[in-house]
């Protein structure tokens, strides 16, 4: 499994990448898409929506299961990846390129509380056992 070092992670298997404009890009991890199997549907939060850290804000469905997507940070949704509506399988092909949505953080301090790659990898490894 790949866990890029340049990203932050949540215990609920979202990855977060800080962008130069201050927004953060969010997707699901390799481990999450591996557990789900073939992704067939993605429902992203609508741009303009305000979310709280840990709030359910989207859904991802596979041939095996459905899972909620949680906001890794509080803030406003500024973009959603519309390509995933027609091609949800992009998440299986490369979960770190197939971003789901972008947030303008309300409290940048929340980013510091997310997991680094090593801490996330320990959680993913424990779940495999």
The pLDDT tens digits of the residues spanning 99-122 come to 999 999 999 799 999 999 999 999
CA 42 to chain CA centroid, nearest Å: 12
Structure tokens given for 32? 């999450």
Mean pLDDT along residues 11-31: 96
What are the φ/ψ torsions at residue 20 (nearest 5 degrees)?
A: -65, -25
Q: In what side-by-side order are the strands of the sheet with 66-70?
A: 39-43, 56-62, 66-70
Rg, the chain, Cα only: 13
Contacts of 70 (CB under 8 A, 6+ apart): 10, 12, 14, 54, 55, 56, 57
- Integer distance in angstroms from the first to the last C-alpha of the chain? 14
Would you state the pLDDT for residue 2? 81
For residue 1, pLDDT beyond 70: no
| pLDDT confidence band for 90 (50 / 70 / 90) | very high
Contacts of 34 (CB under 8 A, 6+ apart): 1
Element (H, E) at 50: strand 50-51
């Amino acid at each position: 499994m790949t866990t890029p070092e340049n990203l932050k992670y949540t215990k609920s298997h979202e990855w977060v990448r800080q962008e130069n404009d201050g927004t953060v890009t969010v997707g699901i991890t390799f481990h999450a898409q591996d557990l789900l199997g073939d992704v067939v549907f993605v429902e992203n939060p609508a741009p303009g929506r305000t979310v709280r850290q840990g709030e359910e804000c989207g859904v991802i469905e596979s041939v095996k299961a459905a899972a909620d997507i949680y906001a890794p940070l509080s803030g406003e949704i500024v973009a959603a990846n519309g390509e995933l509506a027609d091609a949800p399988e992009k998440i299986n092909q490369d979960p770190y390129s197939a971003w789901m949505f972008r947030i303008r953080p309300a409290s940048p301090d929340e980013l510091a509380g997310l997991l680094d790659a090593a801490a996330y990898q320990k959680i993913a490894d424990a779940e495999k056992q």
